[in-house]
Amino acid sequence: MTGVPHQDAIDQHAVLALLAMRRTPVVARARPENGVGPVDAEGEVHDVFTRDGAEYLLLVDSHGDEFRIRPDRQLSLAAPGGRAVWRQKSATLV
């Protein structure tokens, strides 16, 4: 099925969009571009957007600093208390 997104990718995008719509506070764990890590970033999910053919999740921390994370590098999102709200390859809110 060339040109048709995989169902899991659609479901994962919908979960991330819902988190952005609700401005959900999360701790994001991701693999950085340089391969060292993983690293954590804490903030509210503000947006899911596409730029230059890649999708990004936009987190904004309590100081207003922005973090752009590609979902393909993202490993998990958890509530600040530790409860998982999103995991790679899973479209289920826990």
- Whether 86 is covered by a domain: the verdict is no
Length, in residues, of the chain: 94
- Whether 67 is covered by a domain: the verdict is yes
- Taking a C-beta distance cutoff of 8 angstroms, is the pair 74, 30 a contact? yes
pTM, two decimals, is 0.77
- Whether 45 is covered by a domain: the verdict is yes
- Whether 87 is covered by a domain: the verdict is no
Pull the structure tokens for residue 89.
């390859």
Q: What domain count does the chain have? A: 1
Q: Read off the pLDDT of residues 13-71 as tens digits, 9 standing for 90 and up.
A: 888 999 999 999 999 999 888 877 789 999 999 999 999 998 999 999 999 999 999 98
Range of the domain at 64: 7-81
Element (H, E) at 84: strand 84-87
- Whether 37 is covered by a domain: the verdict is yes
73 contacts: CB under 8 Å, gap ≥ 6: 30, 31, 32, 33
Q: Read off the pLDDT of residues 68-87 as tens digits, 9 standing for 90 and up.
A: 999 888 888 999 888 888 77
- CATH code of residue 50: 2.30.30.100
